[in-house]
Structure 1
Amino acid sequence: RGATERQMAEILHFEPGQAELHHTFGDVNRQLTATARDSGQKLNIANALVLTGGGIAKDYKDLLKTTYDAEVFRGNLAAINAWVLDKSEGRIEKILEELSRDSVCTILNAVYFKGSWQNRFPKEDTVDAPFQVSQQQQVRVPFMHRQRKAFSLLRKTDFRALSIPYEGEALDMVVLLPHAVDGLAALESRLTGENLAQWLDELDARSPEKVELGLPKFRLETSYDLVPPLKNLGMKAPFSKEIADFSGMGWPQGKLWIGQVRHKAFVEVNEEGTEAAAATAVGMVTTVMVEQPAVFRADHPFLFLIRDRKSGALLFLGRVANPRPE
């Protein structure tokens, strides 16, 4: 409520009112899982409210259950991590390291995706090759290859984008590859919602052309504390025990606030397809066509995203700076 609601809506770009917003999110979750299922891919979107201390308003619990198909249960740190491990198909072992002694509840979201390429990469064509991490550093990693297959390819002045479809073509992975080895930072600086939407529209408008594709196999595991970046963006009220207002959850203003926001993600790309998982925990505490095939070789840092092509929703967005496992 109040400043808490306004800041969260502004920073997260939530334009509709709460009632419409919840309804929209619930519908999108169901549409995304249905689209993936109908195209033979696996997409799980799971939500939960874990009561770790005090109680929460019945209306709020009912909203989570009916709109987000959320599980609501009492539990501790071990129960929270076990839930995430299960919903991420074993890929994210631990989302939280600790709980505040004043913890009231933890809101959980987990997304798991496993997709097979429309045209799989022949394993016999995978060979070690150089990946230019920077102008000064190079590593050798396994590169997958697809020869003379048709892909949608967008050419811009400073980068190219390629769409690699999954089976059924309802979902795809888009790779955004800067022309320059050190061009990733400049590309990321232009990665606004408006620009990305325009680039994807332009990519979808391109007729497929034959491409010699080289893509490194990679496996990424990341972990982020999202409280500092959210505060830096201007979302400060939800984290302040003096002014946070979550009265819609059944607690008076100043008695319930967000103590931690943790996000972990796992993505693996290989010849068969892509496996990806992500989980977020929010802890609440009280007190052009050419005759020869185009060559698209992702041999230096690039961005990638996995999207639902019908809705345009992004399931995962990431960067590959060094695909070699540590």
Structure 2
Amino acid sequence: MADPNAGAEPTAVAETVLDTVAAVAPDVRAGLPGRRRYLDGENPSGEAVLAADVYADDLLESAIGDVAGVGSYASEERETTVDVGDGPVSVAVDPLDGSSNLKSNNPMGTVVAVYDAPLPASGRDLVAAGFVLYGPVTTMVAGVGAPGDAAIREFLVTDDGEREPLGDVDLPAEPTVYGFGGRVPDWPDDFAAYVDEIEDELKLRYGGAMIADVSQVLSYGGVFAYPALESAPDGKLRLLFEGNPVAYLVEGAGGQSSTGDGSILDREATGLHQRVPVYVGNGDLVERLEAALADS
């Protein structure tokens, strides 16, 4: 049988990757109830690992590794990339974003970033990004194309792993919600002052899973941040696995992203598990945040 991706453009490979992630999503979700225990050891970012993290990672590595055109697979749960083929496309995955929510039965998700370059790569090398949200229903938000050119769309992920289009995703012009990570005493003074300014304008929505919080912003407008912290000047989120794909999606939906000083997509990638401050949302809110940080 002919290889459907033989000689295909990176965007065609990316579409297949997104279809593959959707196909795996029901199995990831079905495997959660029996995998709520923590395992010994930590992941490369120094975080505790649930059995569900490893299960999701294994499923995704196996499935994505079978996609023709994909050359390497990288995961938050793995120290280095895995060579899975001869293709030019690299896939970076957070298999179970917000897995600490599993104990309390709150939402979590899977994040995927598809780069037309070896890792670590710039956000400008993205040819697709998306996330699956395991909420009351399973949905996917995704786009394919160069950053800024891709239409961002939402899909229902059916029980058999198919993607049913629900419509384009456009950030509402009138923002409603905000959600910020990190311990409040650990926030720098300039960021804390920005929070004081906007908390009278917006409603707090923060659930402890980045993808669930970003989904709130995409649905209602507003701003999400995991800021630079006094104890962690580079923040907590990983550039390749979280910062870049979220920036790609929010910017594609009409919003802005920032590291505090320019788009996340322009941050130079120097390491596989590199961290970055993440600020995304409506343009005026992100610009006000950048101004607050610049004035400090």
Q: Same fold (TM over 0.5)?
A: no
The answer to which structure has the higher helix fraction is 2
Higher relative contact order (CA 8 A, sep 6+): 1
Radius of gyration: which is bigger?
1
The answer to which structure has the higher strand fraction is 1
TM-score (norm 1): 0.22
TM-score (norm 2): 0.23
